[in-house]
């Protein structure tokens, strides 16, 4: 496992290595992918388009955020992978997360403008709201499965170097959906924003950088807490996994509304050694 005194090295690894499994989720290869375990998936065309080739905005009245309730809080693990967080890391990690928050806020304003006036909708905003609508149509784990699949099918793999000329850039959802391309962080950020738009509590969401021990690469996923624990949304698979079952993932950093957190080495080694 990498030492946390080397955040720049980890960021470079995430930027380069999370692209390693892109072939697993390329849209051209997903037509025959297995359905998520909680419901049927559409045969084709997840994002509806009209005759002009434009993405159709679902009825605006149906696009209000859901109000979710959370019961029996004490029985839920406080963090994904049941690992405690250390104090917030210094350096680039918190700054990148804060910078992303400002772009997420700008995206939220664009989504709100699209809701109130369809003529204000960009193609990217239409695509975002179409994915949100898929979430409205399902409940429970099936909802997460549809969102995971819809985002995976909406983005074509591309490195940050190819798109932005940087080793590591965390694009906003509308930036990624506008270009139609992104890397593992970009898939995860869209899912995070969609779940927030659907009314998921921020305390139940984590953006997590993990070490994929089976591939010896770093990767980014979204962890979602539900009644049974933490679930993982991953651009490498259509399946929704329980965090404790993803034994090949060793968490390094998590991000939430409180900021960036580094997973302590001792805690990680202790849990994974059990």
Q: What is the pLDDT of residue 272?
A: 43
Q: What is the pLDDT of residue 80?
A: 78
Say which residue the tokens 């139609």 belong to: 180
**Do 10 and 2 touch, CB atoms closer than 8 A?**
yes
Residue 39 lies in a domain: no
CATH of the domain at 263: 3.10.620.30
- Structural domain count, the chain: 1
Residue 60 lies in a domain: no
Nearest to 100 by CA among 28, 197, 173, 50: 173
Burial of residue 222 (CB within 10 Å: 0-12, 13-18, 19+) is buried
Q: What is the pLDDT of residue 261?
A: 82
Q: Please provide the DSSP assignment of 91-119 as one string.
A: SHHHHHHHHHHHHHHHHHHHHHHHHH-GG
**In sequence order, what are the residues at sequence separation of 6 or more whose Cβ sits closer than 8 angstroms to the Cβ of residue 66?**
135, 136, 198, 199
**Do 263 and 86 touch, CB atoms closer than 8 A?**
yes
Residue 130 lies in a domain: yes
How many C-beta neighbours within 10 Å does residue 51 have?
5
**Do 184 and 219 touch, CB atoms closer than 8 A?**
yes
**Do 223 and 241 touch, CB atoms closer than 8 A?**
no
Residue 96 lies in a domain: yes
Q: What is the CA radius of gyration of the chain?
A: 18
Name the strand (E) or helix (H) holding 135: helix 123-136
Q: What is the pLDDT of residue 15?
A: 54
Q: What is the pLDDT of residue 260?
A: 84
Residue 215 lies in a domain: yes
For the chain (274 residues), the mean pLDDT of every run of 10, in chain order, is: 44 52 45 38 48 51 44 60 63 86 96 95 97 93 95 95 90 97 97 97 93 91 90 95 90 87 57 42
212: containing domain: 7-24+74-272
Mapped onto helix, strand or coil, the DSSP state of residue 273 is coil
Residue 194 lies in a domain: yes
Residue 68 lies in a domain: no
Residue 37 lies in a domain: no
Residue 155: alpha-carbon gap to chain centroid: 12
């Amino acid at each position: 496992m990498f030492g946390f005194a080397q955040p720049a090295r980890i960021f470079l690894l995430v930027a380069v290595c999370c692209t390693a499994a892109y072939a697993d989720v390329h849209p051209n290869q997903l037509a025959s992918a297995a359905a998520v375990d909680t419901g049927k998936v559409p045969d084709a065309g997840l994002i509806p388009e009209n005759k002009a080739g434009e993405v159709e905005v679902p009825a605006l009245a149906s696009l209000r955020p859901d109000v979710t309730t959370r019961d029996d809080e004490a029985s839920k693990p406080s963090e994904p992978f049941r690992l405690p967080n250390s104090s917030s890391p210094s350096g680039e990690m918190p700054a990148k997360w804060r910078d992303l928050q400002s772009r997420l806020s700008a995206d939220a304003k664009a989504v709100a403008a699209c809701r109130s006036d369809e003529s204000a909708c960009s193609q990217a905003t239409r695509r975002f709201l179409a994915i949100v609508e898929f979430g409205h149509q399902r409940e429970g784990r099936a909802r997460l499965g549809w969102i995971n699949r819809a985002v995976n099918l909406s983005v074509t793999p591309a490195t940050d170097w190819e798109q932005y000329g940087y080793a590591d850039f965390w694009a906003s959802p509308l930036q990624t959906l506008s270009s139609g391309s992104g890397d593992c962080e970009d898939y995860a950020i869209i899912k995070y924003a969609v779940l927030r738009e659907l009314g998921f509590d921020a305390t139940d969401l984590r953006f997590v950088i993990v070490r994929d021990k089976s591939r010896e690469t770093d990767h980014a996923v979204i962890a979602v807490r539900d009644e049974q624990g933490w679930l993982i949304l991953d651009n490498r698979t259509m399946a929704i996994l329980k965090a404790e079952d993803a034994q090949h993932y060793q968490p390094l950093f998590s991000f939430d509304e409180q900021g960036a957190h580094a997973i302590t080495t001792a805690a990680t080694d202790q849990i994974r050694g059990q």
